[in-house]
Chains A and B, each alone.
Chain A
C-alpha cells in the first residue's frame, strides 16, 4: 500500500506573527518557515506504517511556492521515499488544494492519505474532509490511533468529551491530532540522503484546477487586546474582589 502525505509550508509555530500595519495580511518576509506541525505527525505516522511493513511507499506532496520543496525535503529527510511539488503562487484555499490533491491521488493511487488536521496559519481544518468528499472516500479526522486491517482501517478519534473509534473502508482519508505520535527528528545522514531523493516538479496547470479564491480577504487586523488587571495580595482579597467588584461569585 502506498501512503500519500500532503504537507504545507507555514510560519514556524514558535514565531509570533505580526499583522501588517496596512491590514493586508501578516508579515511573512524574513520569517522562519517550517512544515505544519500536524503534517509532521502525518509524515511520522506514514513512516511507522512503512516500518511496520504495512506500507510500501511514502510519497510527500506539497502545493505552494518553489520554497515548498524545502518542506518536502524535510519529509524526505524524515524518511519519505519521494516528493511531488505542485507549484502555485499566492493563497490557494483548502477547496482548491483538495481538488489538486484529488488529481494527485488519481495519478498515484494510494491506499491511504494522511493529512494534518489543520494548518496553523489559516486554521481552516478543511482539506482532508474536502479531499474525502471529492474522492467519495471514507474519512477519520482528529486521529489519535491508526490501525491497518487489510485494506481497511480502524481509527480512534479525539472528539468533544472523549474518544470515538470507527472503521473505515479503504482507500481512506485520515487527519492527525496531536497525540497520534511524536514525530522524529531527521538525522544528519538522512538529511544528506534526502538530497538525492526525487521530487517531481508539477504546476497547478498540469492538473487543470481553477484556484481562484472563493473568499475575498477584506482586512486582516490585530485581535482586540486585553489589559492586565490588578495583583491581589492574598486569597481573602481575591475572594472579596470577585464578590464585590467582579460580581462573579
Chain B
C-alpha cells in the first residue's frame, strides 16, 4: 500500500498541518509519498523540508502557475493524474484541501472520509459528526481511500528522513477558474491552528477596540495566537479568520484562554481538545466553566490587564 500525502505550504515553508497529517498517513501503514504542488521558487524549499520528515519515502514536486493560488480544478486534476500509483490520498482538513479533496474523490468515484480524528485500522477511522457531539467509526469499502485529517488531534511528525525528490508528471489545467486577488491578514502572531497558546475573546469584548486593548496585549505577552467566538465575529469585533469553533477553526493548543466567552456548543467543538483551558467570565454559570480547568469569575476589564501585568512580572 502506498499513500500520497498532499502537503500544505505557503509557497515558501511547509506548514505544521502537513507534519500532523503525515502522522495520520503513516498510521495507514505502507509507504508515504508527499506531493508538494505550488507556484514559484518557494515550492522547492517546501519540498526539501518535506523530504526531511520522518516516514516520508518520496517527495513529488509540481511547480507551475496553475498551482500558485490553490485553485481546486488544476490541483484536483494533478492528484487524479497521479492516482494510479496510490491506494490512499491524505490531506490536512484546511480550507485548501476541504476545497480540493472532495473533487478528487468524486473524480475517482470514491466517498471521501472527512476530518478523521483517529486511524483505527487502514480502512477504518473515527470522525466527528454533529459539530463534535457524536463520534462515528466508519469503514471505507472503496478500493482507494480519500481522507482529510483534523490536524488538532494528531501529533506533528518530526524530522529524520531523507527522501528523494522527483518532479511529478504534469496534468493539464482545466482552465475553469482564475485567480483575481486575495486579502491575507498579515500578522506576526502564530497561526491559530499551530499556536501553542491561544487567547480568545467573546461577545463580552463589546468592540473591536477592546479586542486590541485587552485581548491582543495579553496574547502578545504569551506569544499566543488570537481567537474569537462566532458571536464576537458576527458582531464585527474580530475578523472571520480568528473564529474558533465548529464553523471556524478547530484548535488544540497547550493553553487556551477564553475571555468573555460563554461557551456555546459550537465554540466548545472548536477548542475542547486544548490541553489546559482557562476561562475568565463574570457569569459564574457560563457553560465555558464546565470545560475549563481553571475558571476565574471576574470582570474581564479588570482581570485581563491584571493578568497581562502579572505575566510581565514573570518575565513574559
Q: Footprint of B on A, CB under 8 Å?
A: 11, 16-17, 19, 26, 93-95, 98, 120-134, 136-142, 144, 154, 158-169, 172, 178-179, 213-223, 226, 228-232, 234-236, 238-239, 241-243, 246, 248-249
Contact = CB atoms under 8 A, between A and B. Distances in A.
Contacts of A138: 73, 176-177
B133 A228 contact: no
Contacts of A19: 133-134
B184 to A, nearest CB: 4
B238 interface: no
B94 interface: yes
Given A26-B134, A123-B130, A133 B107 contact: yes
Contact of A163 (B135, B183, B289): B183
Given A215-B141, A223-B128, A123 B314 contact: no
Contacts of B311: 239, 249
A214 B142 CA distance: 6
A238 B296 CA distance: 8
Contact of A248 (B96, B107, B130, B197): B197
Given A130-B106, A168-B177, A161 B138 contact: no
Interface string B271-284: 01001111000001
Interface stretch (B41-49, B108-116, B159-167): B108-116
A135 to B, nearest CB: 10
Contact of A121 (B124, B129, B240): B129
B180 A154 contact: yes
5 contacts: A129-B99, A159-B95, A178-B234, A223-B135, A228-B289
Given A161-B185, A223-B135, A126 B105 contact: yes
A166 B180 contact: yes
Given A161-B191, A161-B241, A216 B134 contact: no
Given A95-B112, A141-B72, A217-B136, 5 more contacts: A128-B102, A129-B101, A139-B176, A142-B99, A167-B180
A214 B155 CA distance: 29
Interface residues of B, number: 90
B130 A126 contact: no
Contacts of A129: 72, 99-103, 106
A141 B254 CA distance: 31
Contact of B98 (A120, A125, A226): A125
B117 to A, nearest CB: 9
A16 B182 CA distance: 37
Interface in B237-268: 240-241, 246-247, 249, 254-255, 265
Contact of A239 (B72, B129, B193, B307): B307
Contacts of A26: 129-130, 133-134
Contact of A167 (B115, B177, B303): B177
A137 B296 CA distance: 52
A246 B303 contact: no
B152 to A, nearest CB: 13
B295 A229 contact: yes
B180 A234 contact: no
Nearest to B289: A228
Nearest to B196: A248
Contact of A223 (B103, B134, B140, B240): B134
A229 B292 contact: yes
B95 A249 contact: no
Nearest to A120: B131
Nearest to A230: B294
A154 to B, nearest CB: 7
B183 A162 contact: yes
